[in-house]
Structure 1
Amino acid sequence: MPKPIAEQALSTPEALRPWIAGVRTLTSAEPPREPLVRLPDAVTRVVLRVTADGHRDVLAVGPRVRASYHRGKAELSCVELLLLPGTVRPLLGVPAAELVGRVAPLHELPGATARRLAHALRWLDPQEAVPRLGRTLPGLLPVPADPARAALVRAGVAALSARTDREPARVRDVARELAVSERQLRNLFADGVGVSPKQYARIDRVRAVVTGAPTTRWAELAASNGYFDQAHMTSDFRALMGVPPRSYFTGRLPAVSPCRTSGLA
């Protein structure tokens, strides 16, 4: 089975939790022997990348709607901050939808907070960044402009996400539960997540299949993740991953391409 990019989840400082869903690091001493797999992911992140020659980038990396496959790079260190749904515009100055499929230098985005973040992150050591982030970033972050709107987005994300104890909800049911129209829900997701509710659910289900496949039968995976049947699951998986499930899990992958600028995008 191919492996996504190796990562280590770190504890998110308490002061950053209104903005940051998680903090992860990536360190590579030598090129991986297997292709690096970047799964579809409906998350916007801020990434500090340090290459072997000491070059540093602070980047905004938008949601990915399809998987990509790359040759690994040696001697690469990164720390990434996963932004909570609803925080992209106040932090980066653009709606999340404008960053889908993009990797942009953070200081070039229009938000003043984005430029302050880029300056604060640029010279940190990725392996020692998290404690310092907890001390320095809270003073740079604005007060949420519309906490009620952000709460709606996060409630929608939670309802549409795959869980082991229930099937993900359907978009129309989520809109009704949140007392908004489906059009309003789409607008909330475009601004705060970057993709539509339907596309978010599709990405989340495929990621759940990737996680569950090693230990769960195909038919059970399809049923537990809200697919009509196994054929529906296979069709979605192929569309987002580039190959059907059996090919992916036996290592028959699409052709690899060079890594993009971010190293994590």
Structure 2
Amino acid sequence: MAQRDPRELGGHWRTAQRIAVHEPDPDLAPWVERLWTASWEYAEPYRQKIVPLPQVHVSVIGVQGPRVVGPRSRHMVRELAGRSSVVGAAFRPGVFRAVAGCAVGALVDRELDVAEVPVLAGAPAWGGTQRSGAAAPEAHHRDLASWLRAHLPAEGPGRAAREAGELVARVAADPTIARVDRLAAAAGLGVRTLQRLFAEHVGPGPKWVIRRYRLQEVVDRLEAGGPVDWADLAATLGYADQGHLSRDFADLFGEPPTWYARRYPAT
């Protein structure tokens, strides 16, 4: 492994970054799970690792206009430098199909200008560019919420979108779901029907979503601190052995779990 940036370790990144998360207003809640802001100040560029979730984001970095960030199939890295901020809206899994005008699977690992997204193409110019990164997070959130409110469909997500989102939530909440056929049976759907539903409304397939949320349990253990019985954890999460767990984790998160653990303060 390459030498680590010491700013990654022991939670030190929190000294240079500020993150705020707000729940959306009720009229946006059917579409948006959370509004978030991150601001930073770095004298030297910092490579920020971002881990994937099955969500579409609309985000604004600095003085740029809004962009649509599709679900990622694996981790990505953004370079943060100087003093700036980003404000974003994390859409609920399953609902962006009605906004995109195409299957969400077509947005995986892509970033688009809003002019390329039918429902948002006619949205008014971004009105929050005058705010600095030092502005209160609530001000950034209000700017983005107002911009979204102008063009999101008034009728809310359809039945298939809601069903897809509920299945993602079931995977996140139930650690016993470790196989696609188990999720399909719980949903009363055939495996291929389930796969089509996810490709249309979620983006990543059900196998990827299951793997992502089971690996989140590894992250939760690491963040909590203390010893981890890796062989037992691998078996609990449905892996044949610790090696398979480590390889899967590294593929999504960019480094093996024991390496990733160093990002958190020791307890």
- TM-score interval for Structure 1 and Structure 2 normalised by the shorter chain: 0.7 to 0.9
Return 211-220 or 80-89, whichever deviates more: 211-220
Alignment of 1:2-81 (within 5 A): 2=9, 6=17, 7-31=19-43, 35-50=47-62, 55-81=63-89
Conserved 8 A contact 2:52-2:74: yes
Residue 200 of structure 2 is aligned with which of 182, 191, 194? 191
What SS does the aligned partner of 2:177 have?
Answer: coil
User: Aligned AA for 1:195?
Assistant: P
Return 23-32 or 191-200, whichever deviates more: 23-32
Say whether 1:173 aligns with 2:182: yes
Say whether 1:84 aligns with 2:83: no
User: Aligned AA for 1:49?
Assistant: I
Conserved 8 A contact 1:160-1:171: no
C-alpha displacement of 1:66: 1.4
CA distance in 2, matches of 1:42, 1:243: 20
Say whether 1:243 aligns with 2:260: no
User: Aligned AA for 1:210?
Assistant: V
Classify 1:137/1:58 alpha carbon distance in 2 versus 1 (closer, same or farther; 3 Å): closer
- TM-score normalised to structure 2 length: 0.78
CA distance in 2, matches of 1:230, 1:86: 32
Percent identity between matched residues is 26
Say whether 1:147 aligns with 2:138: no
Q: Structure 2: state its 5+ residue gaps.
A: 1-7
What SS does the aligned partner of 1:161 have?
Answer: helix
CA distance in 1, matches of 2:65, 2:91: 18
Which of the two has greater strand per residue? 2
CA distance in 1, matches of 2:205, 2:21: 27
Return 241-250 or 179-188, whichever deviates more: 241-250
- TM-score normalised to structure 1 length: 0.78
Classify 1:70/1:90 alpha carbon distance in 2 versus 1 (closer, same or farther; 3 Å): closer
Identify which of structures 1 and 2 has the higher relative contact order when contacts are C-alpha pairs closer than 8 Å and 6+ apart. Answer: 1
User: Aligned AA for 1:184?
Assistant: T
Give the structure 2 partner of residue 262 of structure 1: none
C-alpha displacement of 1:105: 1.0
Conserved 8 A contact 1:88-1:94: no
RMSD: 2.9
